[in-house]
Amino acid sequence: MNVAIQLEKHEVAGLEKIAEGRVAAVPDSIASRLLAIGLVQPLREAGRGLTLQLTPKGLSFIRSSDQ
pLDDT digits (tens, 9 = 90+) for 11-27: 999 999 999 999 999 99
Separation CA 29–CA 32 (nearest Å): 5
Q: How confident is the model at residue 66 (pLDDT cuts 50, 70, 90)?
A: low
Q: Is 60 a member of any domain?
A: yes
Element (H, E) at 16: helix 9-19
Q: What's the total number of domains in the chain?
A: 1
Domain that holds residue 44: 9-65
Nearest CA to 12 among 25, 24, 30, 32? 30
User: Quick one: average pLDDT of 28-43?
Assistant: 94
Query: Is residue 61 included in any domain, yes or no?
Result: yes
Domain contains 21: yes
Check which CATH number belongs to the domain holding 49 and give it.
Answer: 1.10.10.10
The mean per-residue pLDDT over the stretch 28-36 comes to: 95
